[in-house]
Structure 1
Amino acid sequence: MTELPIGRRERKKAATRQAIADAALRLFLERGYDHVSVRDVADAADVSPTTVFKHFTGKEALVFDQEESTDAHLIAAVRQREAGQSVLEALRQHVLDTWLPIAAHPQREQFNRLVDSTPALRAYGERMWIRHTDNLSAAIADEFGVEHDSLACATLARFALDVPALAQGQKDRRAAVEEVFDILANGWRPPGEPTA
């Protein structure tokens, strides 16, 4: 599939959106989420508050600026996987390709502290997580031709989305991601039990 070239107008909109998100994150990390207004963000990005709201649904969305594309990327990982690749392996590869670079970002710990210390951001993040789970579960169900309320599909979606949280504190994040997906693929065994 050939991607259509992005026009100048779309590039400018994307650059404005990124400038707003970057300014917001910088201010939130410096001052704290509750001490920054949308006007502060607009001023720092050299745009009007109206422009901020053209690009973001609200103040919380400024922190989770990449979340709108997450659903599309998760669904694409399932629907556009390589021939012969299982849904589970496609999700494993997606997490390795997308989450490991995010986890290694130098501001990641500051970002996590910001979200964890701000009830409004924690609540917003949880709503986004539920939405991602529901949409990923539906995409998996579609791949297998089953109803969207399939418990098996919902379970896989939920655990696949939990892999980054489970791997976050591990020294070797890649190995942790692989281990969790191996458990999903092969079932849980007590630690130290030999594999068959």
Structure 2
Amino acid sequence: MTEMGRRERKKAATRQALADAALRLFSERGYDEVGVREIADAADVSVTTLFKHFPDGKEALVFDQDVDREAALVAAVRERPAGQSVPRALHRLLLGEHSRRVHDDPRFDDFLRLVDTTPALREYARRMWLRHEHALAAAIAD
């Protein structure tokens, strides 16, 4: 695996700082009570920078690993061992991902609670999984 250069590391750190600030503020005050300017201020960046990293807005801040998740889902299908079914490959990936988040991320419960109690986030999650479904269908068809 190649190491990220300084620019990529800084971009990743900024993206993570924005996602962390958003989750913290949303958990403290509620999703609808927090604006993008407050999130940008909490991460010490401009609103323009926030939208460069998250052009889809507030919802995308909560699901900051959406692109990585889709890539992992597609890779699980394409790189599964011979004889392993697609459902089994996806189950293994998602179970492992869930176990890691439960054990490694103390904010995971806050994340789940936030999504569960916020209609806009539930809808965004639904649309996100539909996008993943289309990507998976293409991977399975290959």
Report the TM-score, using the length of structure 2 for normalisation: 0.89
- In the TM superposition, 1:31-42 aligns within 5 A as 31-42=29-40
CA distance 1:44–1:117, shift in 2 (3 Å): same
Deviation at 1:120, TM superposition (A): 1.1
Aligned to 1:166: none
Letter in 1 for 2:101: I
Number of residues of Structure 1 aligned to a counterpart in Structure 2: 140
Aligned to 2:63: 64
Letter in 1 for 2:140: I
Deviation at 1:55, TM superposition (A): 0.3
Greater share of helix: 2
> Hey, what's the Cα distance between the residues in 2 that align with 1:5 and 1:17?
18
Aligned to 1:172: none
In the alignment, structure 1 segments of 5+ residues that lack a partner are 143-196
Deviation at 1:92, TM superposition (A): 2.7
> Hey, what's the Cα distance between the residues in 2 that align with 1:103 and 1:140?
29
Aligned to 1:54: 52
Aligned to 1:10: 8
CA deviations on 1:29-66 (whole Å, 9 max, x unpaired) are 00101111100001100000000001002111011111
> Hey, what's the Cα distance between the residues in 1 that align with 2:115 and 2:78?
31
Give the 4+ runs in structure 1 shifted more than 6 A.
Answer: none
Aligned to 2:137: 137
Aligned to 1:25: 23
Greater Cα offset, 96-105 or 110-119: 96-105
Report the TM-score, using the length of structure 1 for normalisation: 0.66
Identity percentage of aligned residues: 64
> Hey, what's the Cα distance between the residues in 2 that align with 1:75 and 1:133?
10
